[in-house]
Amino acid sequence: MRQRGRLAWAKGHAAFMIEQAARQGDDVALLRFGGQGVELLLPPGRARASGSQRLRPVGGGGGTPLAEALVQADRLLQRTLRISGPTECWLWLLTDGRTLEQPQAPLTPQHVVIVDFDDPKKGLGRCAAWATRWGAEHRWAQA
């Protein structure tokens, strides 16, 4: 994600999504995954526009523990559902797909959207393949 400003682009996209959720009164949580592992940056709860500030220190590089991130996201969603009761769950995965892992589909969310930050001209096609396999929506990130 560090190449061609993709990480900054993804962080801007995530910040926009958090701010939009805050305007709509939605709940959000934010997990970061990379060479340092998987980290909960924003615990589940009512979205606040200020939550996007949690993205500033996020760096890139060092590998992508995608499978572990998806397991942790599933656990987080399950715990939230136990506490809050039944609700519609979405998982938005922002990635360039540059991992050798073949992750399994997350089980808990009713909707999964993969936002693909790979280079569309020289892309590997992994995000689209995962979306097909998982029954998820695949979207190319928009500039």
| Domain residue limits at 101 | 3-140
Q: pLDDT tens-digit profile of 8-58?
A: 888 888 889 999 999 999 999 999 888 788 989 899 999 998 876 767 766
Give mean pLDDT, residues 73-81.
95
d(CA 122, CA 135): 24
pLDDT of residue 143: 64
pLDDT of residue 58: 66
pLDDT of residue 34: 82
CATH of residue 127's domain is 3.40.50.410
- Given a cut of 80, whether residue 111 has pLDDT beyond it is yes
Give mean pLDDT, residues 82-93.
93
Q: How many domains does the chain have?
A: 1
12: left (phi over 0), alpha (psi -120 to 50) or beta: alpha
